[in-house]
Amino acid sequence: MRHDVEVSDWAEGPAPLGYGEGFIRTELSFGPDSKQKWASAFFRAAFSWPSTKALTKLRVKVRRDDGILLYLNGKEILRQHLPDTSTVAWTTYATQEVGGIEEALYYVTEIDPKLLQEHNVLAAQVHQCNGNSSDLSFDLTVEGLLGPNDVE
């Protein structure tokens, strides 16, 4: 993995992202060795939110294989299947393998809506459970509720 690549050089494509699954819309490289794939993949998206619209709830729905670390504006908001230590390197493997029906499930996490700014960056690290894992996948949706009349 190169560490000298600017974010503006990152590839773009529609989700789900990854490799090794039939539902993937944007295929990622797993590195030069199929028996020792890269331990992680990094994703980010920028979006705006008008400061005049106050949310009552903010939630993230994520599908990941195997582990994920998610940040909103630099603040960690979700960690699944990764060590509880504060530092997770790009070489860190997930602590649990995701397989079967779990690969298709979206996990919902409530986020403090006060974390939103006018200009936001959502960043994710998706980690493999080992170097010879057959697949990696990532998909994410952010939902906001504006008031009590919004439908859950």
pLDDT at 1: 36
Question: Tokens for 107?
Answer: 């996990």
What does pTM read for this prediction?
0.84
Question: Tokens for 25?
Answer: 């819309």
Give the whole-angstrom CA distance, residue 116 versus residue 92.
29
Residue-wise pLDDT for 41-65, tens only, equals 999 999 888 765 678 888 999 999 8
Distance spanning both ends of the chain, measured CA to CA: 41
Whether residue 2 has pLDDT greater than 90: no
pLDDT-based confidence at 5, cuts 50/70/90?
very low
pLDDT-based confidence at 12, cuts 50/70/90?
confident
* Full set of structural domains in the chain with CATH: 37-145 (2.60.120.260)
For residues 60 and 6, which has the higher predicted lDDT (pLDDT)? 60
**Average pLDDT of the chain, as a whole number:** 86
Whether residue 128 has pLDDT greater than 60: yes
pLDDT at 55: 81
